[in-house]
Amino acid sequence: MPCFELPHNHGTGENDLYLHRELQKEPAFLAAAELFKQLSDPTRIRIFWLLCHQEACVMNIAAMLDMSSPAISHHLRSLTESGLIISRRDGKEVYYQSAKNEKGDLLHKMLETVMQISCPSNSPSHADSQEQVVFQVHQYLVTHIQERITIEELSRQFHMNSTTLKKTFKEVYGVSIAAHIKEHRMAKAAQLLSETALSVSATARQTGYESQSRFTAAFRDWFGMTPMEFRKASREGAPVPRPETDCIP
């Protein structure tokens, strides 16, 4: 079995042989470098991103970018040679779109992550009402109840102005987003404390609290007793308060 050792041992030996072997695959790294070289030009990035979302001819791409058709054609040739976009001919017209392969999909996601923009394909339909979007927000929050999610993150993900989101959410559910999700967190905490053997700290994490002390304070404020007191009362069959969560649509 081949052996490879670094001159200085810094405790990374487990992966050294694998990393060294992979680093010898220079053609693969060259191919990656050539690929990223295509995206070193902001115009090519704009064209590639556009073609990830719709098929377009040269004149329409030029109109979108406020550029001349010859300039666009130059960039299209380069992107086509790199395998990032493909074309098809319909009569005299040639149409371009991004290549639907793993390489193209990864670059598409990477660009939108780096630029912090949302993919139009993930946007709600124009036919969706604000109430329908709020229902989607609600389901997302309940599904990710263990995470701390900001209004700004929700606004970006669901393509709704943060002020409109907060206003519409309160109109639909009668309370603010923060108050509503706290209600669900307390209901989840009560369930975990009464039905599982999870520790208080683990219950706190499962319901979106990084600090056990903050969770305990919030729980006491909601139920009038500490988590351990609630667990003891629940297991002894004593009546314990339960938050109402019947407002889920």
Q: Using one digit for the tens of pLDDT, what is the confidence trace for 142-176?
A: 888 888 888 988 888 888 888 888 998 998 889 99
pLDDT surpassing 70 at residue 36:
yes
Q: 219 pLDDT band (50/70/90 cuts)? A: very high
- Whether residues 95 and 140 fall in one domain: no
- Whether residues 148 and 79 fall in one domain: no
Residue after which a domain boundary falls, among 115, 145, 169: 115
pLDDT surpassing 90 at residue 81:
no
The CATH code of the domain that includes 70 is 1.10.10.10
Residue after which a domain boundary falls, among 89, 115, 141: 115
Q: 1 pLDDT band (50/70/90 cuts)? A: very low
How far apart are alpha carbons 214 and 139 in whole angstroms?
A: 25
**Residue 162 is encoded by which pair of tokens?**
């943060």
- Whether residues 57 and 155 fall in one domain: no
**Span 200-218, mean pLDDT?**
92
Structural domains in the chain (count) = 2
- Whether residues 139 and 227 fall in one domain: yes
The CATH code of the domain that includes 175 is 1.10.10.60
In the chain, alpha helices (H):
13-23, 26-38, 42-53, 58-65, 69-81, 102-115, 130-143, 151-158, 162-173, 177-195, 200-206, 212-223, 227-235
**Residue 19 is assigned to a structural domain of this protein:** no
pLDDT for res 95? 94
Q: 26 pLDDT band (50/70/90 cuts)? A: confident
**Span 64-71, mean pLDDT?**
92
pLDDT for res 58? 93
pTM: 0.48
**Residue 157 is assigned to a structural domain of this protein:** yes
How far apart are alpha carbons 243 and 66 in whole angstroms?
A: 57
Residue 69 is part of which domain span?
35-115
H/E stretch holding 95: strand 93-98
Please report, in angstroms and rounded to a whole number, the separation of the first and last CA atoms in the chain: 61
- Whether residues 131 and 245 fall in one domain: yes
Q: 215 pLDDT band (50/70/90 cuts)? A: very high
- Judge whether 185 and 143 are in contact, CB under 8 Å: no
- Whether residues 207 and 234 fall in one domain: yes
